[in-house]
């Protein structure tokens, strides 16, 4: 479902994101979200039939922003390996600059909300699953091992997420040499 964004929806998304990161899913009732967004509770229900719908649409909103930021600077004329490495580094940069999105996505993936849509996530449109499409293209073009794309996602994102978590915990930023080393390790593990 691709929702049409209005200023009010964006306001609701930002308030929801902020409150969930502070209080969790259950500690962020619609009334608290409405108050923080400075809108009536009815306005939220006008756009989102339920809190579950709001949270799922917030997930897709965050993913669309992430995809735009991560993939918009990638030069498609570069060799696949260079694109692979650039996208991974862009992911790290995005997550370290947007810790609110990172924290929300971390909570979301471990929640019943994600369980409810998990089977449909890999079937979503290409624009929503840009990374999945990119990795599938690498398999098709014989750049990557012919593995289940979920395994490739785990190798690719798992390392990125672990690195970002460590940096957030230590209150540090990843160094360029660390990024290069890690992405080389991933590439060497999945390249054909």
Q: How far apart are CA 19 and CA 123, in angstroms?
A: 30
Q: Give the distance between the most distant pair of CA atoms in the chain.
A: 55
* 2: in domain: no
> For the segment 73-91, what is each residue's pLDDT rounded down to a tens digit?
999 999 999 999 999 999 9
* 1: in domain: no
* 50: in domain: yes
Total structural domains within the chain: 1
| 99 vs 125, residue with greater confidence | 99
Q: What is the pLDDT of residue 5?
A: 60
Q: How many residues in total does the chain contain?
A: 192
Q: How far apart are CA 48 and CA 46, in angstroms?
A: 6
Burial of 41 (0-12, 13-18, 19+ CB in 10 A): middle
Question: Taking the mean position of all CA atoms in its chain, how far away is CA 134?
Answer: 15
Q: How far apart are CA 106 and CA 162, in angstroms?
A: 11
SS3 72: coil
> For the segment 39-67, what is each residue's pLDDT rounded down to a tens digit?
999 999 999 999 999 999 999 999 999 99
Q: Tell me the pTM.
A: 0.86
Residue carrying the six token digits 């490495």: 85
* 124: in domain: yes
Q: What percent of the chain has pLDDT over 70?
A: 92
Q: What CATH number does residue 123 fall under?
A: 1.10.357.10
- Which residue range(s) make up the domain with 17? 7-190
Residue 190, CB-side half-sphere exposure with 13 Å CA sphere: 28
Q: What letter does residue 191 receive in the DSSP assignment?
A: B
């Amino acid at each position: 479902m691709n929702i049409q964004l209005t200023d009010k929806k964006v306001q609701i998304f930002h308030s929801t994101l902020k409150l969930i990161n502070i209080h969790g899913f259950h500690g962020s009732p619609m009334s608290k979200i409405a108050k923080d967004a400075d809108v009536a509770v009815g306005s939220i229900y006008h756009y989102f039939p339920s809190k579950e719908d709001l949270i799922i649409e917030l997930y897709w909103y965050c993913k669309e922003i992430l995809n735009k930021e991560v993939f918009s600077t990638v030069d498609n004329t570069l060799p696949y390996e260079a694109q692979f490495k650039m996208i991974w580094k862009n992911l790290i940069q995005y997550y370290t600059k947007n810790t609110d999105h990172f924290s929300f996505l971390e909570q979301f993936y471990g929640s019943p909300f994600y369980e409810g849509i998990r089977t449909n996530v890999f079937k979503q449109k290409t624009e929503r699953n840009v990374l999945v499409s990119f990795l599938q293209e690498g398999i098709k073009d014989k750049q990557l091992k012919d593995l289940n794309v979920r395994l490739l996602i785990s190798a690719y994102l798992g390392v990125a997420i672990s690195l970002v978590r460590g940096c957030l915990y230590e209150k540090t930023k990843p160094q360029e040499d660390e990024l290069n080393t890690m992405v080389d390790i991933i590439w060497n593990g999945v390249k054909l």
